[in-house]
Amino acid sequence: MKLLDRVLESSFFKEALEKGEVLLKNDKIGILKLLKVSLQKVAELASQKNMTVVNLLNYYVLLLSELVKAYVQGSYRKLPTKTLIKILAVLAYFVSPFDFIPDVLPLIGFTDDLALILWVVKSVKTELDEFAKQRI
């Protein structure tokens, strides 16, 4: 079984999915707080480590956060609910101190986070491309 499949089937990701659903249904302020924490975490990582994996995480977390923020603010509403829940779940997983591969493990600790972020970016690529067109 691939790492991504194991992470997607883990109790950690299932909990993140539930959190994403709850946030989307009931808590716009909570969504914005999640975005803030995600951006803070990736900024801290980027300042501490100059690694390709961290730079990639930084780029995609910024992009996904911008997309969700535009949705919450009402300036971009072309996102299906399922897409939003996936993105929120991945961001919730990313900020969680408890996940499939603990972040404190040197070098490999962010492998699961990166795998999930790349998965969600790939699975919502059409929506990201559409959003990018609107921003220009």
Q: Considering only CA atoms, which of 7, 35, 130, 44 is closest in space to residue 79?
A: 130
* Confidence at residue 50, expressed as pLDDT on a 0 to 100 scale: 65
The neighbour count for residue 16, using CB atoms within 10 Å, is 25
100 within 8 A of 45, measured Cβ to Cβ: no
Token output for 28: 């716009």
Average pLDDT value over all residues in the chain? 88
- Give 15's pLDDT tier (boundaries 50, 70, 90): very high
Does position 11 have pLDDT exceeding 90, yes or no? Answer: yes
117 within 8 A of 90, measured Cβ to Cβ: yes
At 87-130, the pLDDT tens digits run 999 999 999 888 888 776 766 777 888 889 999 999 999 988 88
- Residue in the structure block whose two tokens are 């699961």: 112
The pLDDT > 90 percentage for the chain reads 51
* Confidence at residue 55, expressed as pLDDT on a 0 to 100 scale: 80
Instruction: Output Rg (C-alpha) for the chain, integer angstroms.
Output: 14
